[in-house]
Structure 1
Amino acid sequence: MHVLYEDDGGFKAATILSETDASLQVEAASGKRSKIKKSAVIVRFEQPGPEALLKQAEAASQELDLEFLWECAPKEEFEIPALAEEYYGHPPTPVEQAAMLLRVHSAPVYFHRRGKGKYRPAPPDILAAALAALEKKQRQAEQQQAWVDEIKAGTLPEPLARQAETLLFKPDKNTLEWKALDAACTQLQVRPERLLMNLGAFPSAIAIHKRRFYTQHFPRGTGFAPAEVPPVARDLPLAEVEAYSVDDITTTEIDDALSVQQQDDGTLRVGIHIAAPGLAVTRDSGLDALARARMSTVYMPGAKIPMQPDEVIEAFSLDAGKPVPAVSLYVVADPDTGEVLSHESRIERIVVRENLRHNILDDLVGEAQLDDPAADVPYGHVFRPLWRLAKALSARRDEVRGKPESNNRTDFSFYVDGDPDRPDEARVRIEQRKRNAPLDRLVAEYMILANSLWGGLLASCGVPGIYRSQQMGRVRMGTAAAPHDSIGVPQYAWCTSPLRRYVDLVNQGQLIAAIDHGVSARLVAPFKPREADLYAIISAFEAKYGAYADFQQAMERFWCLRWLKQEGLRRVEAVVLREDLVRLRDAPFYTRVGTLPDLERGRHVMLEIMGDDELDLSLDCRFLDVVEAAAGDEDIEDEPSGQDGAEVAEVDAADGPDPADARLDGGSAETAPASGEPGEDPPAS
């Protein structure tokens, strides 16, 4: 005797071995034995065998017309034997009964299950809706398959092309377009972004990198609506100084300038002049909301996304020849010892005499020329005394730090000639500049001085600010003054880039209150002590700042790859950082070389380029030979903190002043502020 029984939502047939009041011991055709409940049995039969019954029933079930079955079935609940007898016109055989069971059970749209072997026909309106849904699903499946076939043939369907950006960066995975793209990617074993780029949805890999970043951080676009800058609501005196700014050729947000006067007693009176947008961009104003939403200017080779509208930049940038508001720090110091004898801060107007540029001056203003009184140095009456005091100030910080700064590492500047959004038509230049270039060090030193002294002023007035500190190797941002060990100052508050960083803009508002009101400033400053909003700003700033730095680094990696192709380089020199990690000598590109032998840090090697990937921003190289470093190439780079094509362990501590402060605040180049302190190497720029 055999039985047809239900098991886990399906049906099986087996031979009875033994039977009790409540259960059966059965054996399948495969020889597997099972214990089943009697309540699971649907049909008992003797012929044919279990395996033959299922095969014959499956074949017979395909011949049964579902619509006809639904029409002739009882309108109420029924059992399978009754429907089978009604349909066949005679008591059904085991095969016929099994065929009816399989057919009815396989059509839940037509028949709703009501228990073991019991069903009920679907009401007409429900059946009609279900059939319509099935038809729609079938059409969608056909459309999806048609799109998949089209993609596999090398053509992107127009509906997917229209939604390419959404599909890649904000996909709704319930849409037919996404399902088609996902299915095609699975079958072709390729990532969506690569497939869409290969099919022409994006003109190049850089478009994908940019659109992904913009979608996340600038969903409403990177432009500003026309903005109105309120007039400065106070009369500001005009300073009688001869001030100069020193920046990269591409810099448009000029927010710092320097002046110097020789005193009769041999001391120097140095003016550090910072653009003052904080006089108009006040807390909770519309312009403040715009700056707070962005937190920083975003930099990338060939382009940037400003933190503030052009109207604010035009009103407050320290462009030569026009009187502009400034927050000025005047320091009287001994140029031989670096001792600061006195300092005062003023809110005033200044007229910058000239906006000087590194690309013109760096080759003309060297350390040897500055130290030689007889040498001909452009603007020597300004740079020589500033350089003399800057060296003394640096030496005093070295005493605090306990070691001299290492400033011989290389910075890289990117210049894209042409439209950076059309990389095939553009040409990139990567130029190297040593961090110890005198003008870099000079400007950076005075920005460090201003950030330290102004941080101290805020603290002495009881006005909270946003500080950066480093103690026991730990870098943090907070609202209380604390030492910055690697810079060698008692406190450090970013104040010198208010056109480019929101933290500096916040600190400038606090600083203006401290200058105006002294110890009473804590009562009138925009932010009061222990105000929670300051901590919210710090948190948001650090998140945005890190994301912007990662994006800049990704863009630089892309343009490094383009530069290698542009120059036709198949062999490149690199410097070993550790294990298999290297940096190209002539470009800030970090990569791993699997075939690299065990070499000490700083060794130079020759690599052969085997391939590259602009979407993954990776370079495939193999080791060729060890080479001797050229003169001047003895510096050892820190490892990158961001992507380098592979995971990188925590970097070694750097020796120099905080690049995030010194490089940007010094105005040496219009590049992104680095994301880290010493010990957190910034993205190269």
Structure 2
Amino acid sequence: MYVLYEDSGNFKAERIFSESDSTLQVEAASGKRSKIKKTNVLFSFDQPEPATLLEQASSLAQTIEIDFLWECAPQEEFDAQEFAQEYFGHAPTAVEKAALIFALNSAPAYFHRRGKGRYRPAPPDILQAALAAIEKKRLQAEQQQQWTDQMVAGHLPEAIAAVAMTFLARPDKNSLEWKAFDAACTTTGTSPEEMLLRLGAWPNPLVLHRHRFLTQNFPKGTGFPDIEPPSEDWDFPMADVEAYSVDDASTIEVDDALSVQTVSDDIVRVGVHIAAPALAIRRGTVLDEIARSRMSTVYTPGEKIPMLPDALIQRFSLNADKPRPALSLYATANLTTGEILETETRVEMLHVRENLRIHNLDDWVTEETLDNPEAELPYGHWLRPLWRLAKLLSAQRDEVRGKTENNTRVEYSFHLEGSPDDPDSTIRIVPRRRDAPLDRLVAEYMILANNHWGGLLAQHGVPGIYRSQQAGRVRMSTQALPHEAIGVPQYIWSTSPLRRYVDLINQGQILAAAQHGVSARLVAPFKPKEADLYAIIGAFDSQYSAWGDFQTTIERYWCLRWLQQHDVKQVRGQVLRDDLVRLDCLPLVTRVPGLPELERGRLVELEIIGCDELTVELHCRYLGAVEP
């Protein structure tokens, strides 16, 4: 005796091995035994063999016309086995009963299931709607397959081209266009980016890189809403100092300037002056929301996306055209010992004497000319005492760190001559050592200010966002912890408030501490243990990292273009670890397959065999190690 039963939506026919009140044990042709509920059994039969029944019933079901079956069926709920006798006109065989059940079950638009072996014909209006939906789905499947075939063949359908811009950021994965595109990528084994370039949806990888970043991070564009500029009616005393700023040629946000006054032969009063946009950007205002949404200025070769509107930058940037409000740290120091004798933080108006540019000074400002008072040196009266004190402050930090700071690494400036969208633009990549005297001088006074102001906040119980390093781990928190790599007891970012949101937040806190002293914690924008500060830290870390990744991608792209523009075939580089090599001529790290095991820092010769501007990877072959 055999049974036909339903198991998880499939029909099975097997031999009865044993039986109880509510279950059956059945045996398949393979000998495998299973226990099934009697309620799942459709009917039992003696012949033919189960496999034969399933085969013959499936073939017979294919010959049954579903339209005719729907017309013949009772209009009310019916039993399939009873209907089989009426349909076939005689007592149905096991094969015929199974065939009718298979046919009814295969047409859910025509027949709605009402239990085991029971069905109800769909009402005419519901049937017509269901058939229309099925036809629509069929046509959509045909259209999708047609688009997929065209893309696999290398042609871009107009419908896909119209929405291709959305495929890299927020694609509608339920749309036919995306499904067709995804199927084409799967069929050809290519990534969405590769497929879009192959089809000509994007003219080149550079445009694709920029579009992907902008649509993900600036879906409404990089512009700013119209906002009323802040008032210029600042009631602060004018600083009686000779201050200069030092920046590269592309800087438009002049955040900082330095001044120095001689008190006596060995005593000077150094001023670190920082632009003060926090005076106008109050917590919760529209400007604050704008800065918070961006977190930082985005820098790439030939282009920058500012954190703040240009009108506000111009209002607070320490340009030399007219006085600007500034947050100033004055440190009175001994030029013989480096001891800081006295400090004062003030909010004042500052008229910068001149905005100096690094490229105009680099050839003049060397350690030799700085240390030789007889040597010709522009702005020597300003530079030499600042340099003298900076060296002493650096030595004090080295003593805390237990070692001399290593600033010998080369950094690079990118100068793009042309459009940042045009891969044929000429790129100049200019090396510059991090230990250049001007860089060291400015950096030392920014460290002084960030260390001191971090201590000022802690002294008055005003929370801030600190950067610390302990046991090699750098982290941001609201605790004033040591930064071991820099060699200071605490460190905050506060000297770039026009470019970084964390600096802007910290400046608001410092202003409260400087202006209100012991009562600062009551009037500061952020109070102790306020949850929003932790939220800012988390958001800043994530977004600042995304900005940095994009900058790295675009800089790697232009490094590859530089190699092509200069037709470079061989390069040298230093081994970092394993198969990683840093090139000597560019800020580019690449993997070199087959690189033998070499010590870190070993110089090697590489042959360039190609590059991929989409993955921004350089392909090199190892030629050999270079003797020192």
Establish whether TM, by shorter chain, passes 0.5: yes
Structure 1 residues 42, 223: closer, same or farther in 2, change over 3 A?
same
Alpha-carbon offset, residue 73 of structure 1: 0.8
Q: Identify the residue that residue 191 of structure 2 maps to in structure 1.
A: 191
Structure 1 residues 318, 112: closer, same or farther in 2, change over 3 A?
same
Structure 1 residues 346, 94: closer, same or farther in 2, change over 3 A?
closer
Alpha-carbon offset, residue 331 of structure 1: 1.9
Give the distance between the partners of 2:99 and 2:266, measured in 1 at CA. 110
Structure 1 residues 37, 245: closer, same or farther in 2, change over 3 A?
closer
Q: CA RMSD in A?
A: 2.4
Q: Identify the residue that residue 175 of structure 1 maps to in structure 2.
A: 175
Whether 2:563 is the aligned partner of 1:603: answer no
Task: Report if aligned partners of 1:575, 1:602 keep a CA contact under 8 Å in 2.
Answer: yes
- Matched to 1:442, the amino acid is L
Q: Deviations over 1:84-124 (max 9, x none)?
A: 33233333344433332322221122122334433222222
Task: Report if aligned partners of 1:295, 1:307 keep a CA contact under 8 Å in 2.
Answer: yes
Task: Report if aligned partners of 1:254, 1:318 keep a CA contact under 8 Å in 2.
Answer: yes
Whether 2:218 is the aligned partner of 1:224: answer no
Q: How does 1:503-518 map to 2 (within 5 A)?
A: 503-518=502-517
- Matched to 2:567, the amino acid is G
Alpha-carbon offset, residue 26 of structure 1: 5.1
Deviates more, 1:51-60 or 1:140-149: 51-60
Q: How does 1:673-684 map to 2 (within 5 A)?
A: none
Alpha-carbon offset, residue 2 of structure 1: 6.0
Q: Deviations over 1:506-546 (max 9, x none)?
A: 22222222222222323322223333322222222222222
Q: Identify the residue that residue 645 of structure 1 maps to in structure 2.
A: none
Alpha-carbon offset, residue 411 of structure 1: 0.9
Q: Identify the residue that residue 157 of structure 2 maps to in structure 1.
A: 157
TM-score (norm 2): 0.93
Alpha-carbon offset, residue 603 of structure 1: 0.6
Structure 1 residues 26, 490: closer, same or farther in 2, change over 3 A?
closer
If asked which structure has higher relative contact order (CA below 8 Å, sep 6+), I would say 1
Q: How does 1:590-669 map to 2 (within 5 A)?
A: 590-628=589-627
Structure 1 residues 431, 64: closer, same or farther in 2, change over 3 A?
same
Q: Say which SS state the counterpart of residue 352 (structure 2) adopts.
A: strand
Q: Identify the residue that residue 440 of structure 1 maps to in structure 2.
A: 439
Q: Identify the residue that residue 405 of structure 2 maps to in structure 1.
A: 405
Q: Identify the residue that residue 44 of structure 1 maps to in structure 2.
A: 45
Q: Identify the residue that residue 63 of structure 2 maps to in structure 1.
A: 63
- Matched to 1:546, the amino acid is S
Q: For structure 2, list consecutive stretches of 5 or more residues without a partner in the other structure.
A: none
Task: Report if aligned partners of 1:24, 1:38 keep a CA contact under 8 Å in 2.
Answer: no
Q: Identify the residue that residue 75 of structure 2 maps to in structure 1.
A: 75
Structure 1 residues 26, 578: closer, same or farther in 2, change over 3 A?
closer
Alpha-carbon offset, residue 12 of structure 1: 4.0
Structure 1 residues 5, 275: closer, same or farther in 2, change over 3 A?
closer
Task: Report if aligned partners of 2:14, 2:26 keep a CA contact under 8 Å in 1.
Answer: no
Give the distance between the partners of 2:46 and 2:617, measured in 1 at CA. 68
Whether 2:3 is the aligned partner of 1:11: answer no
Q: Deviations over 1:336-361 (max 9, x none)?
A: 22111222222222222221112222
Whether 2:569 is the aligned partner of 1:550: answer no
Deviates more, 1:145-154 or 1:166-175: 166-175
Alpha-carbon offset, residue 291 of structure 1: 1.1
Q: Identify the residue that residue 650 of structure 1 maps to in structure 2.
A: none
Task: Report if aligned partners of 1:232, 1:280 keep a CA contact under 8 Å in 2.
Answer: no
Q: Identify the residue that residue 531 of structure 2 maps to in structure 1.
A: 532
Structure 1 residues 81, 493: closer, same or farther in 2, change over 3 A?
closer
Give the distance between the partners of 1:233 and 1:539, measured in 2 at CA. 36
Q: Identify the residue that residue 477 of structure 2 maps to in structure 1.
A: 478
Alpha-carbon offset, residue 434 of structure 1: 0.6
Q: Deviations over 1:538-580 (max 9, x none)?
A: 2222222222222222222222222222222232211111122
Q: How does 1:169-568 map to 2 (within 5 A)?
A: 169-423=169-423, 425-568=424-567
Q: For structure 1, list consecutive stretches of 5 or more residues without a partner in the other structure.
A: 630-685
Alpha-carbon offset, residue 34 of structure 1: 6.5
Q: Identify the residue that residue 647 of structure 1 maps to in structure 2.
A: none
Task: Report if aligned partners of 1:469, 1:477 keep a CA contact under 8 Å in 2.
Answer: yes
Alpha-carbon offset, residue 10 of structure 1: 3.0
Give the distance between the partners of 1:244 and 1:561, measured in 2 at CA. 37
Q: Say which SS state the counterpart of residue 446 (structure 1) adopts.
A: helix
Q: Aligned residue pairs: how many?
A: 626
Give the distance between the partners of 2:329 and 2:157, measured in 1 at CA. 62
Task: Report if aligned partners of 1:4, 1:43 keep a CA contact under 8 Å in 2.
Answer: yes
Structure 1 residues 258, 95: closer, same or farther in 2, change over 3 A?
same
Structure 1 residues 112, 444: closer, same or farther in 2, change over 3 A?
same
Deviates more, 1:362-371 or 1:211-220: 211-220
Structure 1 residues 608, 118: closer, same or farther in 2, change over 3 A?
same
Q: Identify the residue that residue 683 of structure 1 maps to in structure 2.
A: none
Alpha-carbon offset, residue 31 of structure 1: 6.9
Deviates more, 1:97-106 or 1:2-11: 2-11
Alpha-carbon offset, residue 483 of structure 1: 2.4
Structure 1 residues 37, 502: closer, same or farther in 2, change over 3 A?
closer
Structure 1 residues 432, 97: closer, same or farther in 2, change over 3 A?
same
Task: Report if aligned partners of 1:327, 1:347 keep a CA contact under 8 Å in 2.
Answer: yes
Deviates more, 1:558-567 or 1:597-606: 558-567
- Matched to 1:235, the amino acid is D
Structure 1 residues 42, 275: closer, same or farther in 2, change over 3 A?
same
- Matched to 1:69, the amino acid is L
Q: Identify the residue that residue 148 of structure 1 maps to in structure 2.
A: 148
Deviates more, 1:608-617 or 1:92-101: 92-101
Q: Say which SS state the counterpart of residue 500 (structure 1) adopts.
A: coil
TM-score (norm 1): 0.86
Structure 1 residues 41, 409: closer, same or farther in 2, change over 3 A?
same
Alpha-carbon offset, residue 433 of structure 1: 0.6
Whether 2:140 is the aligned partner of 1:128: answer no
Give the distance between the partners of 2:20 and 2:395, measured in 1 at CA. 98
Task: Report if aligned partners of 1:16, 1:27 keep a CA contact under 8 Å in 2.
Answer: no
Structure 1 residues 83, 625: closer, same or farther in 2, change over 3 A?
same
Alpha-carbon offset, residue 138 of structure 1: 0.9
Give the distance between the partners of 1:461 and 1:104, measured in 2 at CA. 82
Task: Report if aligned partners of 1:329, 1:450 keep a CA contact under 8 Å in 2.
Answer: yes
Structure 1 residues 19, 624: closer, same or farther in 2, change over 3 A?
same
Give the distance between the partners of 1:446 and 1:4, measured in 2 at CA. 88
Give the distance between the partners of 2:25 and 2:292, measured in 1 at CA. 75
Task: Report if aligned partners of 1:468, 1:478 keep a CA contact under 8 Å in 2.
Answer: yes
Task: Report if aligned partners of 1:409, 1:434 keep a CA contact under 8 Å in 2.
Answer: yes
Q: Say which SS state the counterpart of residue 468 (structure 1) adopts.
A: strand
Whether 2:586 is the aligned partner of 1:587: answer yes
Q: Say which SS state the counterpart of residue 419 (structure 2) adopts.
A: coil
Alpha-carbon offset, residue 372 of structure 1: 2.0
- Matched to 2:398, the amino acid is D
Deviates more, 1:211-220 or 1:602-611: 211-220
Structure 1 residues 123, 561: closer, same or farther in 2, change over 3 A?
same
Alpha-carbon offset, residue 144 of structure 1: 0.9
Q: Say which SS state the counterpart of residue 62 (structure 1) adopts.
A: helix
Q: Deviations over 1:249-302 (max 9, x none)?
A: 111111111122233333222221111112212222221221122111111121
Structure 1 residues 308, 7: closer, same or farther in 2, change over 3 A?
closer
Give the distance between the partners of 2:409 and 2:342, measured in 1 at CA. 34
- Matched to 2:465, the amino acid is I
Give the distance between the partners of 2:32 and 2:341, measured in 1 at CA. 97
Q: Identify the residue that residue 637 of structure 1 maps to in structure 2.
A: none
Alpha-carbon offset, residue 420 of structure 1: 1.0
Q: Deviations over 1:217-267 (max 9, x none)?
A: 323221112222221453222223222111111111111111222333332
Q: Percentage identity across aligned positions?
A: 61
Q: Deviations over 1:419-438 (max 9, x none)?
A: 11122x21222111111100
